[in-house]
Structure 1
Amino acid sequence: MLDALDDPDCRTIIERIDGPMTATEISDACDIPLSTTYKKLALLTETGLLDRRARPRADGRHVARFVLAFGEVRIGLDETRSVNAVVDRWERSPADRPSDPWSEAGEET
């Protein structure tokens, strides 16, 4: 997680992501090449800082959208001077979940 937070491209993605966004939208918003964006999105999702949500499209393929998965990260030392990282993850409320899984079908990536 510290590697992701130390990476300038990852920090830019965190700063610019605005609701569920596709990799292409993130690449455009951050002015980062798409191939690099995919690598950074993988790192951010592996560390739990982003959530990846797949939605089916009408053609049967899925479109992936990425959203922030945290509100705060706290890094500190405990009483034994060991590094601790605490991530306050956002829970997805029922209102944020589509009632119809096909609601985003047909959207472009």
Structure 2
Amino acid sequence: MTHLLFVCSRNQLRSPTGEAVWQPREGFTARSAGTSPHARRPIGPADIRWADVIFVMEPKHQHRLQAAYARLLAYKRLHCLDIPDDYRYMDPALVALLDDRVARYLAGDSATR
């Protein structure tokens, strides 16, 4: 089972959509969290430890995680999906982006193992 963690700022739209899209897929379990202290579910060290692969929506999320959790991230696969905050929860265009970009990274990760 591969543990996928989706991260955005407030954990309201993009990262919960990632969780909803990937959670039901065989071989995966998914969570989501936000980098803001005001997020619906703020990210913490336990989330980083749990995750096999971490997907952030924007470079700023990656920078925040690296600043706060550098040691925990040392051996984690961390990918930036470059998905701006322009979508609603489960927006079909957002679902399509998450399908495509996450699948490409996962295929690339498994090829390097």
Structure (1 or 2) with the greater strand fraction: 1
So what's the TM-score if we normalise by structure 2? 0.25
Higher relative contact order, chain-length normalized (CA < 8 Å, sep 6+): 2
So what's the TM-score if we normalise by structure 1? 0.25
Structure (1 or 2) with the greater helix fraction: 2
